[in-house]
Structure 1
Amino acid sequence: MSAPTDPELRNALAALVGEANLYADPADKARYETGARYGNGKAALIVRPASTAEVAAVVRHCVATATPLIAQGANTGLVAASTPDESGTQVVLSLERLRSELVIDRANRTATVGAGVTLQELNDKLAEHGLCFPIDLGANPSIGGMIATNTGGARLIRYGDVRHNLLGVEVVLADPPGQVLDLMSGLRKNNTGYDLKQLFVGVGGAGGVITRAVVQVHPLPRQTATALIVPTTQQATLDLLIELESEFGDFLTAYEGMSRSTVQSVIDHVPGVANPFAPEPIPDYCLLVELAATSSREVLGVDLQGALNDFLERQFDVLVSNAVLDGGPDLWKIRHSISESIRHQGKLIAFDIAVPRSSMIAFRETAQRMLDQGFPWLRLFDFGHWADGGTHFNIVWPHDATPAYDADTVERLRVALYDLVVRDFGGSFSAEHGVGPYNARFYHRYASAESQALAGRVQRALDPARALGQVDFGPV
């Protein structure tokens, strides 16, 4: 069936969600067409359903008329998976109105939420019950979007990613068009065949539209301890992580590395942030460490900050050369302000990569050497999650650099660095942000033929008309 004309499409979708919830004017569509970092396209329409039934009706109509749909949550993704292309033929299915359901089951320690509920909204409600959904991010995504991208964050080492905390989902399927798949279980133990909900985790909306979810939540910490640590050597960075895990076990919630250029960028561009090591200069590399416990100091019998301070004192001149103790929110402000501060430095070339923890040191040294030799005018601002092997290896092309910014050179750099990550170090070209139009070519470059063939069969089974999602996970 040929795609309907614009007036036909508009009238049909308006009848399903109401005229007020259908945007056709360019000014109204603009914020849905622009991605957080990449992805600036043109949508045919923006449709904003308020219920699972309305989502199902929209999906049913669009599949029947061969109208491509792009599901969108808070639109904070960084690989263009939630924004339309330039064709002007795609309908953006905004889930921002699916926010009426937010039910806390304190006894089961779960939350049932609409896909449009944001992370901040969920945590504000959970805090009333002494609970949290501890996926720590710099953005405020929707829960549906977090599931679609399998969000990780800075505290993954303690709590895992979204996949590890997802108990149930409700999904509107592309085939049969508009059919609602109810997998809304609050069970932690359910070994009854395929775990079908996982088919919709981390695939950017392929195969179905997530409308509701049941997530596992956690007690709020009653005490935390923080320190900003300067390791004696790069090898000490990994050795210190091993010692912290041995000493503190599950109390270790974050272990974040930051280079000198990264910290300096925050100090230079974020008001109210000063050098935490003053009067000493900013070190070449530092580590933000956090411990947390859900028991009070009185119940636990341990003062975590005191225990961390004692531990670091024993490591001085062995693994630690300097440390700022008990910085709390001020230290986390540095970490959370990095991405925004780097934008002031020039044209950002962002890499969200992961390698095995044991390879982090060798990778960082090899990658820096590659930049120095092949792209000496570029500046590196790297930071990341040493505890899970993830790194935001952000490179900036300064505005005043010679040569001037060139897209072909950037592509050559990107291929060279990703080849290093994946082929030389057995890593991932997308540690957290998932696969979207921006990086799909690298999925097809690195995923094995066997895995692409299987993924393609799964995707065709769920969505034979390819009505949903931006990426074809099968062979191309």
Structure 2
Amino acid sequence: MWTTDTVAQALLPLVGDRGLLQGSDMASYEQGARYGHGKALCVVRPANVQEVQAVVRWCATHHIALVPQGANTGLVGSSTPDDSATQVVLSTSRLRNVCEVDAANRSVTVDAGITLQELNEKLEPHGLWFPIDLGANPSVGGMVAANTGGTRLIRYGDVRHNLLALQTVLLNPQGELLDMGRALRKDNTGPDLKQLFVGTSGAGAIITRATLEVHRKPQQSATALVVPTSDEAVLQLLQALERDLGDYLSAFEGLSGHAMQAAIDHVPNLRNPFAPEPAPDFAILIELEAASSKAYTGLDLQDTLNLFLQDQFEQTIDNAVIGNGHELWHLRHSISEGARALGKPIAFDVSVPRSRIMDFCRAARAVVAQDFPFLHVVDFGHIADGGVHFNVIWRSDASKAYDPAVVSALRDRIYAMVVQDFAGSFSAEHGVGPHNVAYYRQYTPPPARRLAQGLRQLMDPQQLCGTVDFGDSSAAV
């Protein structure tokens, strides 16, 4: 039986004093951003790929389970250890030596531990950015492992669509370095192996480096918060935008009245953009972006958006607030903070075909109102890509005390509705982890689970890496 001391003594020469944490120093690595709390055997923080290889070889040889962890911003518990105190957390936070920008190729090769904010700071002098827009600051490796999307997915795609090459340290063969792909947009020299590691929550290998396609920073943007005339008008407005301004549409975000009010009431320096009128029952945040300058094209995006909205008044729009994009995006990004201030969030990160998203939101709200009337819905999401954060709050002042059994029943109801009634996904962006793996096993067809298990067996026959078994087995590492 391995102990913390014996494992630490073995790993210390591999990563040095700065690379090994024990005791109370591990606390932030053992607690997830929303779910997941456990006890690690120890935490290792390799500073380069050679140290990652050495750690992987030692742990694989001695059958010590590894939990890869980036910035630990995930929301399904996939980057935190369990309660067994038998797992080593392998943090990539010190893998930050390489950030090589190829401005002419519009690409960047970056170590897994560099965060999204740091990456964009490196890209800024070149007029470039990696336009994954989130309410968190994840690491590059974590974004690949979760296949991060965000609010501008409709224009730029998710991480999968912007990944040119990937470097990983394999579990089988133990510690072998695998470079997959090059900084090419066209390469059909065999299977695209790097995609086997995207969206797998860290299973199968340690992601150490990625080459990403990056984009020109917009020279113009225009923003509006509009009130649709009806639920049906939401998709009519989206279709009209894509028809008339599709080359510039970068965001189409839905915000419920409860979501806006939660943010307005609880986030300092945030005002109601519709004041003196109350926040509407539902609003849509529209953003247009252009990489081209007005000086050369003659195009003024704000004037263009204003003209479009004028044409849509009474057809699809009842009201609109136009202009201050920073203020409107601050409202959108403050919703989660406002929701947490109300009580305990019961978060649903789901997606359905976007043609059915308003129907789903209406049906899900009805279920909560009828069967869980003591709960409070705070929903918002990425209408244009079919994603919605259907957050339900167990308010601090609710008439019924918090009950985990009720939370479980609500999750079962909502996920069944998403998958069975609306042909959707129970995890649109957050991936699969210990928090939601039971729903993966419930709703993923057996042939798909067997294929996933076969891949896992090939890449990690001892199932040493990651916290989720994607196959038929119910046992997680």
- Structure 1 residue 19: Cα displacement: 2.3
- 1:214 corresponds to 2:211: yes
In the other structure, the counterpart of 1:115 is 112
Distance of 2:108 and 2:125 partners within structure 1 = 13
In the other structure, the counterpart of 2:88 is 91
Residues 251, 287 of structure 2: 8 Å contact kept: yes
Distance of 1:210 and 1:431 partners within structure 2 = 22
- Structure 1 residue 372: Cα displacement: 1.1
Q: What does residue range 49-448 of structure 1 map to in structure 2 within 5 Å?
A: 49-448=46-445
- 1:17 corresponds to 2:5: no
Distance of 1:228 and 1:20 partners within structure 2 = 48
Which of 33, 38, 55 matches 2:35?
38
* Cα deviations by residue, 1:162-185 (Å, 9 ceiling, x for unpaired): 000000011000111101001251
Distance of 2:181 and 2:308 partners within structure 1 = 44
Distance of 2:99 and 2:129 partners within structure 1 = 13
- Structure 1 residue 402: Cα displacement: 2.2
Residues 181, 194 of structure 2: 8 Å contact kept: no
Amino acid at match of 1:177: Q
Distance of 1:328 and 1:8 partners within structure 2 = 55
* Cα deviations by residue, 1:368-400 (Å, 9 ceiling, x for unpaired): 111111101100000000000000000001122
Distance of 1:302 and 1:172 partners within structure 2 = 48
- Structure 1 residue 317: Cα displacement: 1.2
Amino acid at match of 2:338: S
* Cα deviations by residue, 1:185-215 (Å, 9 ceiling, x for unpaired): 1011000111000010000111100000100
* Cα deviations by residue, 1:88-130 (Å, 9 ceiling, x for unpaired): 1111000000011101001111000000000000001101100
Q: Is the partner of 2:359 in helix, strand or coil?
A: helix
Q: Stretches of 4+ moved more than 3 A in 1?
A: none
Distance of 1:281 and 1:49 partners within structure 2 = 52
In the other structure, the counterpart of 1:458 is 455
Residues 170, 210 of structure 1: 8 Å contact kept: yes
Distance of 2:180 and 2:51 partners within structure 1 = 19
Amino acid at match of 1:21: G
Distance of 1:300 and 1:312 partners within structure 2 = 21
- Structure 1 residue 8: Cα displacement: 2.2
Question: TM-score w.r.t. structure 2 length?
Answer: 0.98
Q: Is the partner of 2:374 in helix, strand or coil?
A: coil
Amino acid at match of 1:110: S
Distance of 1:472 and 1:268 partners within structure 2 = 42
Distance of 1:327 and 1:367 partners within structure 2 = 32
Residues 35, 75 of structure 1: 8 Å contact kept: yes
Residues 70, 468 of structure 1: 8 Å contact kept: yes
Distance of 2:6 and 2:84 partners within structure 1 = 18
- Structure 1 residue 20: Cα displacement: 2.8
Amino acid at match of 1:441: A
* Cα deviations by residue, 1:263-319 (Å, 9 ceiling, x for unpaired): 011111111111101122210000000000000112222111101001101111111
* Cα deviations by residue, 1:235-263 (Å, 9 ceiling, x for unpaired): 11111000001011120000000000110
Unaligned runs of 5+ in 2: none
- Structure 1 residue 78: Cα displacement: 0.2
Residues 228, 327 of structure 1: 8 Å contact kept: no
Which of 4, 7, 10 matches 2:5?
7
Question: TM-score w.r.t. structure 1 length?
Answer: 0.98
Distance of 2:222 and 2:248 partners within structure 1 = 10
* Cα deviations by residue, 1:401-432 (Å, 9 ceiling, x for unpaired): 12211001100100110000001100000000
Distance of 1:41 and 1:6 partners within structure 2 = 15
Unaligned runs of 5+ in 1: none
Q: Is the partner of 2:223 in helix, strand or coil?
A: strand
- Structure 1 residue 340: Cα displacement: 1.3
RMSD: 0.8
- Structure 1 residue 4: Cα displacement: 3.1
Distance of 1:169 and 1:437 partners within structure 2 = 25
Distance of 1:48 and 1:184 partners within structure 2 = 26
- 1:474 corresponds to 2:471: yes
Residues 109, 218 of structure 1: 8 Å contact kept: yes
Residues 349, 387 of structure 2: 8 Å contact kept: yes
Distance of 1:403 and 1:224 partners within structure 2 = 46
Q: Is the partner of 1:171 in helix, strand or coil?
A: strand
Residues 3, 41 of structure 2: 8 Å contact kept: no
